[in-house]
Amino acid sequence: MPYRRLPNTDEARIRALKAAVRQGSLENPYNLTITFKSLGEARSFLDTFEKAQLVYKQNLQRQAKENLKYQVLFKRAQLYVSHFIQVLNLCVIREEIKKENKTYYGLIPDNFAVPELTTGATVEEWGRKIIDGEQERIRRGGSPIYSPTIAKVKVHYDVFMEAHILQKGLKDITAKSLKQLAKLRVEGDKIILDIWEQIEDKYANMPQEIRLDKCKKFGIIYYLRKKERKIG
């Protein structure tokens, strides 16, 4: 016997509710399949759910659009921070800068590897460290590093940080809208289940083919079990 399954996508939930509301609205008010209360809940929920879905999509699209710009600025800042650390290490190797001075930058004196700079958080961390470290070393009488200068690094770092903060904010907004949508999905599934139960109860005593046809008009989706599917 075919079995029903609750919708598993937002679009399917909306289609199921719209079908139930549309078909329910066509019925004689004195012989309803779905109660007035349930129809009212479905209409109200549909409006709320569609708006929440639209808000989430808009937030996600904006985040994705800004992420394209962010990735360009991230890679540029990553390049400058990495290059500066490499030049600093070369200066130490050439004994132009004392290796102990690397501690100003949060770097280990005898370790000449460039720190991992694969995420926005690591570029944020090490960018700030080398800017502060270079300023502190110069303040103590050291000669500035050139190619790139710390001023050049700071320009790209500051632009990156503006985009980084914006992107984190957009991610938070998107996450909140998704959380709200997830809550509504649970509520929507309860409404759909209640409506489907009313529909099936209404036509429970009819022959299977007629009963399924009537239920389908209200948006209930039925699936055949494996042994019921025709082969070939």
For 22-53, the pLDDT digits (tens) are: 999 999 888 999 999 999 999 999 999 999 99
Give the Cα separation of 23 and 25 in Å (integer). 5
Amino acid at site 39: L
In the 3-class helix/strand/coil scheme, how is the chain assigned residue by residue?
Answer: CCEECCCCCHHHHHHHHHHHHHHHHCCCCCCCCCCHHHHHHHHHHHHHHHHHHHHHHHHHHHHHHHHHHHHHHHHHHHHHHHHHHHHHHHHHHCCCCCHHHHHHHCCCCCCCCCCCCCCHHHHHHHHHHHHHHHHHHHHCCCCCCCCCCHHHHHHHHHHHHHHHHHHHHHHHHHHHHHHHHHHHHHHHHHHHHHHHHHHHHHCCCCCHHHHHHHHHHCCCCEECCHHHCCCC
pLDDT in tens, 68-119: 999 999 999 999 999 999 999 999 999 999 999 999 999 999 999 999 999 9
Low-confidence winner among 24-28, 112-116, 174-178, 227-231 (lowest mean pLDDT):
227-231
User: Does the structure show a pLDDT above 70 at 3?
Assistant: yes
Can you tell me the distance from the alpha carbon of 64 to that of 58, in angstroms, rounded to the nearest whole number? 10
pLDDT surpasses 80 at 230: no
**What residue spans define the domains of the chain?**
3-228
Which pLDDT does position 228 carry in this prediction? 62
CB 112 within 8 A of CB 89: yes
pLDDT in tens, 179-193: 999 999 999 999 999
pTM: 0.81
CA gap 212, 206 in Å, rounded = 9
Could you tell me what percent of the chain has a pLDDT over 90? 90
Contact 167, 67 (CB under 8 A): yes
Q: Token pair 């042994």 is at which residue? A: 227
What pLDDT is attached to residue 226? 73
Per-residue confidence (pLDDT) for residue 54, from 0 to 100: 97
Q: What is the pLDDT of residue 231?
A: 46
Q: What's the pLDDT at 232?
A: 40
With beta carbons less than 8 A apart as the criterion, state whether 131 and 153 touch: yes
pLDDT at site 41: 96
